[in-house]
Amino acid sequence: MFWQRDEVTEILRMIENEHLDIRTVTMGVSLRGLAHPSAEHACAAIREHLQRTADQLVPTIDAIQADYAVPITNKRLSVTPIALIAESAQSSDYVPFAQAMDRAAAEVGVDYIGGFSALVQKGMTPGDRNLIDAIPRALSTTERVCSSINVATTRAGINVDAINLMAAQVKALAEATADQGGIGCAKLVIFANIPDDNPFIAGAMHGIGEAATVINVGVSGPGVVLSTLKRLFRHQPRCRLDEVADAIKRTAFKVTRAGELIGREVVRRLGDRVRFGVVDLSLAPTPAIGDSVAEILEELGLQRAGAPGSTAALALLTDAVKKGGMMASSAVGGLSGAFIPVSEDAAMVAAVREGALSLEKLEAMTAVCSVGLDMVAVPGDTSAATLAGIITDEIAIGVVNNKTTAVRIIPVPGKGPGESFDYGGLLGVAQVQPVNSFSCDRFVGRGGQIPAPLTSLRN
């Protein structure tokens, strides 16, 4: 790996002072070819294949981290959507597949494994339904397994029947992990337009069009962007928004460059059996002060995230990040932009606590951010129908705007509006938000398919 002297200096400064990290190196592994009529045989094959394929992943990442002094926060795996593999088995219980994934992840030393997933945007096969039915038990009895369900695409429309099922599973999963504040829901995300190459948990999966083994890198730099803006405003306190966008774009270039250099070095050391996939440049916050997307919005001039102008400020930020990433690499993919996972961003939590950031304003902001309603806590007694309405609203934003969007929502058992639950670590503090009390039961209860928008007809 060839580093220019000025790149080394700049990257070291960002690491030491501005919270720059490689948030994740994720190995995507294809499980196609491992389907078998015996669930026991298939689970053993999956475990063995993951052990053999990923056995050098963590040692390689640790060696690179030591050699280059670049912090790499998480090591992860993603696999082919399990519903596609498990459906050949003569069993309707898919929990053993999750347990096999979990054991393999522990044995190779990764933090998480994504791909307990199904793609049901236009309908469900028996295997898809079996996987969805297994989610509460699968995620509450494993430590590392994460699940994603794609319920809509711009091309297919929105599967409301699947959304209703998923809303019920969110409730069941929250209750299954009630002693931990419903934490199981943090490992489940419901998507529209799910990407094949997302390295970030909980939505990571290895798409069916991917190569056999791929390395995808997720880079996060909200602290770097925040420091850039502080320096800019110190020297040019009245600078214009187009100048702000240019400064963010230049910073995103540097951050993306660091991610690609690390990713390609991982691939070089692992050898020819592994391909380089994408750099996902997503400003993913942590609970640490100064490592916050909300603080960036406030540095731009908002009193609090959620104030009027928040959606426009987030749009500026997301667009500049994407442009800077595309300048730095021809392999930018995944989600790439700005994340707004509420519990994981200390300034977002403060904005919710102070009443500046409502659920409805969050929904508006998701129209221009990278993903959607992420790590949002609602009262534990929120009905499944209301959850389905919230999910359907968010999914509609993704479908109509031809973008990826998703919902990771936690109905915190026993908690009401204004209360909180501390999950610790990167998951942060969940501040429970009030939910509109008017009913959507009759609407979501109709089920069926919301047709694809006219913009889907692109042939």
CA angle 35, 158, 448 (to 5 degrees): 95
pLDDT along the chain (459 residues), means of 10: 55 65 93 97 98 98 89 94 97 98 98 98 98 98 98 98 98 98 98 96 95 94 90 95 96 87 94 93 86 95 98 97 90 91 95 96 96 96 98 98 96 97 93 97 98 88
Contacts (Cβ under 8 Å, ≥6 apart) of 16: none
- The count of domains in the chain is 1
What DSSP character marks residue 303? S
Give the tokens for residue 303.
Answer: 């009193």
Please name which of 417, 396, 414, 395 lies closest in space to residue 406, comparing C-alpha atoms: 395
Say how far apart CA 408 and CA 386 lie, in whole Å. Answer: 14
Q: How far apart are CA 192 and CA 108, in angstroms?
A: 31
- Give alpha helix (H) positions in 55-210: 57-68, 82-86, 95-108, 126-140, 160-176
What would the DSSP string read from start to end of 166-224? HHHHHHHHHHHTGGGTSGGGGGEEEEES--SS--STTT----TTS-SEEEEEEEE-HHH
Can you give the pLDDT at residue 351? 97
Q: Report the C-alpha gap between 47 and 107 in whole angstroms.
A: 9
Per the structure, the complete domain to which residue 432 belongs is given by 1-459
What would the 3-class secondary structure string for 308-358 be? CCHHHHHHHHHHHHHHHHHHHCCCECCCCEECCEHHHCHHHHHHHHCCCCC
Q: How many CB atoms lie within 10 A of CB 130?
A: 22
pLDDT of residue 13: 67
Q: What is the CATH number of the domain that holds 440?
A: 3.20.70.20
**What pLDDT score was predicted for residue 4?**
55
| Tokens at 124, concatenated | 């469900």
